Structure formats: structure tokens, C-alpha cells
Chain A
Amino acid sequence: MSKILVIAEHLNGKLNSSTARAVSAATAIKPEAIDVLVLADNADAIAAEAAKIDGVSRVLTIARAENAHPLAAVLAPQIAKAAAGYSHVFAPSTTFGKDVLPRVAALLGVAQVSDVMSVEGSHTFKRPIYAGNAIITVEADAGSTVVATIRTASWSAAATGANSAPIEALSVEATLPSHTRFVELQSGKSDRPDLQSASKVVSGGRGVGSKENFDIIYKFADKIGAGVDAGYVPSDLQVGQTGKIIAPELYMAIGISGAIQHLTGIKDAGTIVAINKDGEAPIFEIADIGLVGDLFKIIPELEQAIG
């Protein structure tokens, strides 16, 4: 039977909802146990939140001053030690999970399955490659620990509230390096929601023209309470290419032609709106609602129509 360790993601003493999504994926394996591991300087509040997630058997905490910030080099040796006795180690495929989990896999000497979209069996998973333009079925070695990141856009968060899993402090013997130091987190000046949690996201592409012109995108996003994807990138490479996957209820692609690679990061959005002056632009192939026209004319009209 499988026993799964899910690594909790958190910030400022709060559990990130990506953790409950990773628990959903763990539940799909129908394991004997799902334990959530919280590594923090002060783990109590985060552990209490994790204990409420349906399907969680136990919450384990490693509270150390060194765990105040999520430095992969510091967390990975502790996770690798804590992984003993588990058949699977999961983390959300967010920048947190993507950073730390391959380091854990290498310490354990095993491969990692990145971006699990679906569970086909305890060791069989589906995951996207080529920016989601192909989906592969992969089989992990049955004799090794399965280390996997969970593609959050593919899983809804496990429900919370009904559960009250026990919380236990865990102590692991791990030598922690001091060669890496956290300096600061700049989380942006505005009140704009971050992309992973935003229900609406506005994105501007090359059609916007320049960094200066990008203000029109920010202004419109603020008007409808949306996050802004990517910002101005002076390159052919756009959103999907950055490897970020988001799944807002509404995604508005403005002045984005939708070069093949781009479309991936947004394919899980509820409703995709495309505004582009070129009616033949590939973005219209995946848009739910399309509008052909000049964005500099349309955006002010939209603002007016919204009122």
C-alpha cells in the first residue's frame, strides 16, 4: 500500500491552497495514509490549517529557524530524511515545489515526475510535454520512491473543514548548509492579486507595442480587479513559454497573437477572451469570445461599457 508525504507550501504563516490540490492528487492514489509535512520557523498555525484538509492522516512539523524562508538547499535534506518509509513524495508544481522537489529527488537518487495532470495508477501518471502540446503517460520505477510535482491547474483543492488530523513534531537529523541566504521578497507595490490565486487575469502581448504602452493593460486590470500576466516581454516568447500555468475563471489576452507556445499556460482558464487586430491570429482558435480590433480603441470602450 502507498504512503504519501505531501510537502506543504506556505507564506507569511498561511497555508497556500496549492497544498490542498496536491492532497487531491495524493487521494487519487487511494493510499493507506497521506501525511502533510510543514517546514517553517513557526509551524503551528500552518499545521492547524493543513490538519483540516480532507484525506490528511497526520500533519508533521519541522519547526526550525532555518526554515523561515523556503530555501531549497536548506529544505531538501530535511525532506529527504523525512521521506523514509513513504512510497511517494508530492509537492505542488508551483515555483516552490519546482525549486525544492528535484533537489529532494536527487538526494534520494530517484527520477522526478513533473507536473502530474492525472493519476492512472500508483506509479503511472499523465503529464504535459512540449508546453502541453503533447500529453505523455509515464511509469515510475515500482521499486523506488515516487517523487512528483502536482500540476495545480489540473486538480481542485481537497475540501477543508470536516477533518481534524493529529499534528506531530518531527525531528530529523540533517546537516543544513549555510551557503544560501534569503535576502528579501518583493511582492509588488500594488494590490493586484497574484496570478496563481487571481480569478481574473489580463495579459498584454506584442500588440501593446512597448513597455510604456503597457500601462493601459495595468489600468484596465485594476479596473476589473484582475491580475496581470507576464508584463511586457520584449521577445517572441510569451506566457506559456515561461512555464507558468494558471487557471483563472477569466483570462483576457490583449494584443497577443497566440504563438503556439503561448497558448499552453492559459488552456485551463474558464473563459478565454481574445482581443487582437488580426482576425487570423491563432489565439482566436482557443478563445471562447473573440473581438477583432485595435486594442487602444477597444480598452477605453470596455472601461466605459463596464462603467
Chain B
Amino acid sequence: MKILVGYKRVVDYNVRIQVKPDGTGVVTDGVKLSANPFDDIALEEALRLREKGVAEEVIVVGIGPADLTAHLRNGLAMGANRAIHVVTTDAVQPLTAARIFQKLIDKEQPGLVILGKQAIDDDANQTGQMLAALWDRPQATFASKVEIADGKVTVTREVDAGLEVIEAELPAVITTDLRLNEPRFIKLPDIMKAKSKPIDTIEFASLGVEANDHLKTTHYAAPAKRSKGVMVKDAAELVAALKQKGLL
């Protein structure tokens, strides 16, 4: 079985996001970029499934400009067998990303697609669900546990009411939640090895995907600030303050 993994590059989660004063975007020049944390979890899960013998091949997929190659090399260093780079300089919205994946699925015929539940830049939380709809296959979003046996996947999902367990026939789409696993660190020898792993480059325009679904972002603003609070000196003072507010 092949596993396709979405591997998006985003502004690193430790970066303090600054909105440009003219409201046209957020500052990304000179800002550290990293793999979307949920995608690292997706890749880790795929690698574990390969190590268990459930899958033979793990393919990371990136959509972005020419310099995305370095990012995909990180995915290869982490352990993916190969990478697919869909080249475009345009920002890609979730429906377009899902349509791109659908084209890649037609070509690669994976048994499983694992994506992060959301990217920490646009926070859309849509691509996996949209892909499952277009592919007409099961979806298991917000996964915190994945088990595969007999052509079926059993997924524990983190839902508001607790943990929901569902069973789905393969092929299927899984999206990862934070507690699914802890991604491995990349070791130096793996970085060397990754240099010889293949990256297929596909021009976005050659896929025949329509990209007319775009929502138009007209303005960016900084969020409203909370006003600065007070410091108390001990537990008794804290309890008194909370009681005064009627919270205890």
C-alpha cells in the first residue's frame, strides 16, 4: 500500500505573527518557515505504518513555489520514500488543494491519504474532508489513534463530546490531531540520504485543475487586545478575587 501525505510549509508556530500596517497581509519576509505541525504528525503516522509493514511506500506532497524543494527534502529526511512537488506561485485554497490531491490519487492509487487536520496559517480545516468528498471515499478527521487491519482502518477521533471510534474501508482519508503521535527528529545522516531521494515536479497548470473557487481576502487586521490584568501575591488573594467576581 502507498500512503500519500500532505506536507505544507507554513510560518513556524513559534513566530509572533505581525499584520502589515496597511492591512494587506501578514509579515512573511525573513520569517522562519517550517512544516505544518499537523503534517509532521501525518508523516510520522505514515512512517510508523510503513515500519509496521502495513504500507510499503510513503510519498510526501507539497504545493508551492520552486523553493519548496528544501522543505520537501526535510520530509524525505524524516523518512518518506519520495516527494511530489506541485509547482505554483499562487496561494492555493483548500478546494483547489483537494482537487490537486484528487489528480495525484488518480495517478498514484494510494491506499491511504493522511493530511493534517488544519494548516496553522489559514486554519481552514477543510482539505481532507473536501478530498474525501471528491474521491467519494471515507474520511476520519481529527485522528488520535489509527489501526489498520483487513482492508479497514479503525480511527479514534477527538470530538467535542469525547473520543469517537469509527471504522472505514480503505482507501480513505485521515486527518491528524495533535495527540496522534510525537514526530521523530531528523538526524544528520538522514539529511544526507534524502539528497538522493526522488522529487517529482509537476506544473500546476498541467494538472487541469480548475482554481476558480477562491474566496477573496480583502483586509487583514490585528486581533483586539485583552486589557492588562492584575497580579496577586498568594493563593488566598487569588481565591478572594475569584469569589468577588462570583467565579468560585
Taking beta carbons and an 8 Å cutoff, which residues of A are in contact with B? 11, 71-73, 76, 94-96, 98-107, 109-115, 124, 128-141, 177, 179-188, 194-196, 200, 224, 233-237, 241-243, 249-250, 259-261, 267, 270-273, 275, 284-293, 298, 301-302, 304-306
B123 and A290 contact, CB distance less than 8 A: no
Do A102 and B126 contact each other (CB < 8 Å), given the known contacts A107-B133, A134-B26?
yes
A261 and B120 contact, CB distance less than 8 A: yes
Q: Does B229 contact A (CB under 8 A)?
A: yes
- Among the stretches B53-61, B74-82, B191-199, B214-222, the one at the interface with A is B214-222
Given pairs A76-B133, A98-B129, A111-B94, 6 additional interface contacts (CB within 8 A): A102-B125, A130-B123, A133-B17, A135-B223, A179-B169, A241-B178
Kindly list chain B residues whose C-beta atoms are within 8 Å of the C-beta of A285.
228
Kindly list chain B residues whose C-beta atoms are within 8 Å of the C-beta of A301.
234-236
User: Closest B-chain residue to A186, C-beta based?
Assistant: B163
Taking beta carbons and an 8 Å cutoff, which residues of B are in contact with A? 11, 13-17, 19, 26, 37, 93-95, 98, 117-118, 120-134, 136-142, 154, 157-169, 172, 177-179, 182, 213-223, 226, 228-239, 241-242, 245, 247-248
A261 and B232 contact, CB distance less than 8 A: no
A106 and B133 contact, CB distance less than 8 A: yes
Do A302 and B235 contact each other (CB < 8 Å), given the known contacts A102-B126, A112-B126?
yes
Do A291 and B232 contact each other (CB < 8 Å), given the known contacts A72-B141, A194-B162, A273-B238?
yes
A234 and B182 contact, CB distance less than 8 A: yes
Interface residue SS majority, chain A: mixed
Do A95 and B158 contact each other (CB < 8 Å), given the known contacts A182-B164, A290-B232?
yes
A289 and B232 contact, CB distance less than 8 A: yes
B165 and A184 contact, CB distance less than 8 A: yes
Interchain CB contact (< 8 A) of A185 among B98, B139, B161: B161
B95 and A105 contact, CB distance less than 8 A: yes
Give Cα distance in the complex from A179 to B140, angstroms.
12
A113 and B215 contact, CB distance less than 8 A: yes
Give Cα distance in the complex from A236 to B183, angstroms.
12
Interchain CB contact (< 8 A) of B239 among A136, A288, A306: A306
Interchain CB contact (< 8 A) of B129 among A106, A139, A236: A106
Interchain CB contact (< 8 A) of A241 among B37, B125, B234, B245: B37
B120 and A185 contact, CB distance less than 8 A: no
Kindly list chain A residues whose C-beta atoms are within 8 Å of the C-beta of B248.
224, 306
User: Closest A-chain residue to B175, C-beta based?
Assistant: A99
Kindly list chain A residues whose C-beta atoms are within 8 Å of the C-beta of B167.
180-181, 183
Kindly list chain B residues whose C-beta atoms are within 8 Å of the C-beta of A235.
178, 182
Between A and B, 14 residue pairs with Cβ closer than 8 Å are A73-B132, A111-B215, A124-B218, A137-B219, A139-B216, A182-B165, A183-B154, A224-B248, A233-B178, A234-B182, A249-B247, A261-B13, A291-B233, A291-B238
User: Closest B-chain residue to A300, C-beta based?
Assistant: B235
B182 and A272 contact, CB distance less than 8 A: no
A287 and B14 contact, CB distance less than 8 A: no
A130 and B166 contact, CB distance less than 8 A: no
